[in-house]
């Protein structure tokens, strides 16, 4: 049996996990694909560095082109990260007829269309399951499991760092700043956490999910992204009192071929299964016209969960090699992208207002909503002992995003509204 030879770009946490699984599960892998899978070359930054797994010195290289141009390597597994230089490596590998497995969400969100078209042109596979939600096989599920259905909504907790922070704030009443520092100390958050806490990481993942789910080339700039840095203990307290949890959700929706994709802190009804996803775990909720509601839950990061997804993609590539059907995956978008306008994006909203504490204020506020045809589901007014003003909590019925923006603009010029403290989308 001729072995399938793999070139591994990167030997960090995930790359180490790939080596562990490929070498430790060799019997299982051979039984599935009918050939040994051999890691032929590994790209490292420093060949002399001590490692947690034994690797032959002659298998390591500090030159990526030695792997890309290696005549016997069949599959490139990319776990090194980065965008511009990594894109060059992958495009060159595809040009040379090598199949690619990657965990690089940034690369696929920004250049996925170009890479997929190049792969198809050269009859190569490019699989990237590990780029979204770690060990959850969500991309394969969207492409294969829902191939006979029409997906109308994808809603997910796809960033473990922010979910950990919001979970601790909810369960322990801690402040955002304190929990962020704790997350950094534990290694869940980077020293510069901007990509996670401002929703950029989640936006990249939602770009990939929406593209696959809706078969349209959704670009990163099509995703409206807002992070969690402005979420307060007070917001979470009010949410819990009303029966909600605050989660950073990516939401992609399709209606009559019009789509919208966004990332924002969202109040989720506690009865919805996604509200109970806590800590660093991820979950993706998918609604199909035929199947209805489904949800996929699991570890969103980590050495072995992510490596498991990578090796599963590697097995899929090898099976395709055996069958002679590489380059025929259905990830290339074939539908025209039609984005919803703000007038067409609709949801419920939660608003927390700091207002003058006197008669007639509530009537003036509700009139503003009426002026823009926003109906209200509930209104709660209560004094706040820590301030001289009262606070009003409003939850609307479904309202379009443009109307809510007009309401907020009107509040800026309304003398009885001292401050709009919080605005959240409401789900469930």
End-to-end CA distance of the chain: 53
Structure tokens at 60: 């390591």
Candidates 120, 205, 247, 340; catalytic one? 205
Contact 191, 208 (CB under 8 A): no
Contact 140, 129 (CB under 8 A): yes
Helices and strands of the chain, counted as H and E runs = 14, 17
CA atoms within 13 A on the CB side of 231: 35
The SS3 call for residue 375 is coil
Structure tokens at 411: 């509040």
- Conformation bin of residue 298: beta by default, left when phi > 0, alpha when psi is -120 to 50: left
Neighbouring CB atoms inside 10 A of 10's CB total: 23
Catalytic site includes residue 205: yes
Q: Could you give the C-alpha distances from 176 to 180, 193, 247, 256, in angstroms and in order? A: 6, 13, 13, 39
The SS3 call for residue 279 is coil
Q: What is d(CA 426, CA 428) in angstroms, rounded to the nearest whole number?
A: 7
Q: What is d(CA 21, CA 23) in angstroms, rounded to the nearest whole number?
A: 6
Contact 33, 315 (CB under 8 A): yes
Q: Could you give the angle at which helices 200-214 and 105-121 cross, rounded to 10 degrees?
A: 30
Q: What is d(CA 55, CA 420) in angstroms, rounded to the nearest whole number?
A: 58
Residues involved in catalysis:
205
């Amino acid at each position: 049996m001729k072995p399938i030879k793999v070139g591994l770009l990167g030997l960090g946490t995930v790359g180490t996990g790939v080596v562990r699984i490929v070498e430790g599960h060799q019997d299982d892998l051979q039984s599935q694909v009918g050939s040994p899978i051999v890691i032929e070359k590994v790209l490292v930054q420093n060949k002399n560095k001590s490692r947690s797994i034994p690797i032959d010195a002659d298998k390591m290289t500090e030159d990526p082109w030695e792997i890309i141009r290696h005549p016997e390597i069949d599959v490139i597994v990319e776990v090194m990260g980065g965008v511009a230089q990594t894109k060059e490596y992958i495009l060159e590998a595809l040009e040379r007829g090598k199949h690619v497995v990657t965990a690089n969400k940034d690369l696929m969100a920004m250049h996925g269309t170009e890479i997929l078209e190049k792969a198809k042109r050269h009859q190569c596979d490019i699989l990237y399951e590990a780029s979204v939600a770690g060990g959850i096989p969500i991309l394969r599920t969207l492409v294969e499991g829902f191939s006979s259905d029409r997906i109308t909504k994808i809603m997910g907790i796809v960033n473990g760092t922010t979910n950990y922070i919001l979970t601790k704030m909810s369960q322990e009443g801690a402040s955002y700043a304190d929990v962020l520092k704790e997350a950094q100390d534990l290694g869940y958050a980077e020293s510069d956490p901007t990509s996670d806490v401002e929703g950029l990481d989640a936006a990249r993942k939602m770009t990939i999910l929406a593209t696959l789910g809706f078969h349209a080339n959704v670009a990163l700039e099509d995703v409206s992204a807002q992070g969690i840095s402005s979420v307060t203990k007070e917001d979470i307290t009010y949410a819990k009192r009303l029966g909600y949890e605050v989660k950073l959700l990516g939401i992609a929706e399709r209606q009559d071929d019009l789509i919208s994709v966004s990332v924002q802190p969202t109040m989720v009804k506690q009865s919805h299964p996604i509200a109970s996803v806590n800590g660093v775990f991820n979950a993706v909720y998918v609604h199909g016209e035929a199947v209805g509601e489904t949800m996929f839950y699991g570890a969103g990061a980590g050495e072995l969960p992510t490596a498991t997804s990578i090796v599963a993609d590697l097995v899929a590539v090898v099976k395709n090699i055996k069958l002679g059907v590489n380059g025929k995956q259905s990830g290339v978008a074939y539908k025209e992208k039609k984005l919803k306008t703000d007038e067409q994006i609709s949801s419920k909203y939660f608003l927390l207002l700091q207002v003058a504490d006197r008669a007639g204020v509530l009537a003036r506020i509700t009139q503003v909503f009426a002026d823009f045809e926003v109906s209200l589901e509930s209104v709660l007014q209560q004094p706040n002992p820590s301030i001289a003003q009262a606070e009003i909590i409003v939850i609307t019925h479904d309202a379009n995003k443009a109307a809510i923006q007009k309401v907020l603009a009107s509040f800026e010029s309304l003398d009885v509204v001292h401050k709009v403290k919080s605005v959240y989308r409401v789900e469930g």
